[in-house]
Amino acid sequence: MKQLLDTVWQRRGTSWIWDEEARNQVCVAREVWSLRQFVQAVGKWPEDLPSNGNNTLVVAGLEGGLDLLTPEDAETWLGDSMKQATLSFQDAYDGQAALIFWLPSGQGRIKFHPATDSVEWRCAAPHSDRLLAFGRILWGEANEYPQEILLREGSKPAGLFHLRIT
């Protein structure tokens, strides 16, 4: 998987971050939207985004939403509702804004497969033995993306970045 040292993820595309330092680079806690606010904004996006000089929207709650559902329902919800909301955001800002999903436990839940560049999400108990095909569901396994976000050379990944989901 390609690695990204650039800060483009703070201004463009869609990211899933789990590193607190990375999140703090783009917003303060009061600027983070709930998943509910995000879903309610579909089709009526604000002119000004709350973070990073009106360039960024940070959303918390995706992992909680996934955890409340069975793996089958989570896959459907992620592929239908969440993907459509993400596409709506991209279209509304013509790709000129960043959508960041804050996943505090993402580092332990995202599973990379280096041989195929596929990305999976480990479900929560009682389904912790199951994996969702996160990459296939959200970006169709487009192998040029996602990229691992690195905050500095040699650091552990802080998240994943995808420039444009189709």
- For the chain, 166 residues long, give each residue's pLDDT as a single digit of tens: 889 999 999 999 999 999 999 999 999 999 999 999 999 999 999 999 999 999 999 999 999 999 999 999 999 999 999 999 999 999 999 999 999 999 999 999 999 888 887 899 999 999 999 999 999 999 886 655 789 999 999 999 999 999 998 8
**pLDDT for position 83:** 96
Q: How many domains does the chain have?
A: 1
Taking alpha carbons only, the member of 106, 110, 89, 83 closest to residue 22 is 106
43 contacts: CB under 8 Å, gap ≥ 6: 88
Domain, as residue range, for 155: 3-162
**pLDDT the model gives residue 113:** 85
Residue 142: the pLDDT is: 62
Instruction: Decide if 151 contacts 137 (C-beta within 8 A).
Output: no
Predicted pLDDT at 141? 64
Q: How many other β-carbons are positioned within 10 Å of the β-carbon of residue 125? A: 7
